[in-house]
Amino acid sequence: MKCRRCREPAVIDIRRHNAAFCRDCFLHHCREQVRRAIDEHRMIEPGERVLVAVSGGKDSLALWHLLGALGHEADGLYIGLGIDEYSEESAALVRTFATGRGLKLHEVDLAAEWGFDVPTAARTTRRAPCGSCGLSKRHLFNRVALTHGYPVVATGHNLDDEAAVLLGNVLRWETGYLARQYPVLPASDGFARKVKPLIRLGEREMAAYCVLEGIDYQVEECPMAAGNRHLGYKEVLNALEDRSPGAKAAFLFGFLDRGHDLFAGLAGIAGTGGGASGEGPVLAPCASCGSPTTGEVCAFCRLRERVRDDTGPAPGPEPASAPSQTPRP
Ligand code: Q46
Ligand code: ZN
């Protein structure tokens, strides 16, 4: 097996591209795919500071590394979710990555700063932990971005993740979610722009990238992921991909190119291809934390209140209010 670019011996083959690469050409391929995603979707403007949401897993650490390699000023944000040793190990891996490369890392500890962790929230709500976990992460990514003046938050969702989300949305014809499923969510009042620069790279490529770049990452699955529907969707898509390489990418990119705008139109959202957000619901600052919300109190603060009512007063100081305006690039 020879490298498609330089004809040296290859270390990895990528069936959907019908190509194999040596180490250096594979790393070049990854950087090119990210550069292309960023350019195509105008994810990051020149000179913008990026906040990378890092979990300690392969995707987010590779993303942080790739953004740096492409010359972007990218700082990390790690959120301690309180999922036993898994969270402790993940935090240690993120800190080692950041200190070893002299990168700036922000940290938020859910239990110490906000009075609850993911397992407690799951017990209180009696629902799958990923719901309160995702809600908390989205809230805190945005809050830290606004507080520290980052116009853009980047997450490590890759091609496999996005194809699995798309399959889930299509299976239930979630037209509202389909209207918003796009690699860029534009900034609006109180919300930083959200981008997914790994959209053109698969899970296997991200693992290979970390191995070849010597990035030590969390290899364990989150112990609370059991029962997460997306794992099942990924299995189905992997089976399809095995029979027909490129099926996953065709499914996702076909939707982004030819399907997304139809759903966005139905939902009354302006085409997200260029970036303007459409008329949305009226937002006002959350009475508790200052973040923009459609109700009086935001979903994150309602979750905090529920846990507090269930378990008694939260430890730690009450965090100060966040700014409610998005810094515009
Ligand atoms: S960390 Fe949180 Fe994930 Fe674990 S509890 Fe679910 S959402 S699976 S990315
Ligand atoms: Zn709030």
236, part of any domain: yes
239, part of any domain: yes
13, part of any domain: no
Instruction: Name the residue range of residue 188's domain.
Output: 38-220+227-326
17, part of any domain: no
1, part of any domain: no
115, part of any domain: yes
Encoded amino acid at 43, one letter: M
Q: Which ligand is nearest to the CA of 297?
A: 2
Instruction: Express each pLDDT in 15-50 by its tens digit.
Output: 999 999 999 999 999 999 999 999 999 999 999 999
Which residues are CB-contacts of 214 (< 8 A; sequence separation ≥ 6)?
none
Consecutive H or E run containing 300: helix 299-311
Instruction: Express each pLDDT in 78-122 by its tens digit.
Output: 999 999 999 999 999 999 999 999 999 999 999 999 999 999 999
**Which residue reads 């600052």 in tokens?**
285
Q: What's the CA-to-centroid distance between 244 and ligand 1, angstroms?
A: 30
54, part of any domain: yes
The dihedral built from the CA positions of residue 226, 232, 222 and 292, taken in this order, carries a sign that is: negative
Q: How many domains does the chain have?
A: 1
311, part of any domain: yes
Which residues sit with Cβ closer than 5 angstroms to ligand 2, an ion? 286, 288-289, 291, 298, 301
The enclosing domain of 95 has a CATH number of 3.40.50.620
pLDDT attached to residue 313: 63
Q: How far is Cα 47 from Cα 167, in angstroms, rounded to an integer?
A: 35
Atom of ligand 1 nearest to the CA of 122: 5
Q: Which 3 state secondary structure label does DSSP give 33?
A: helix
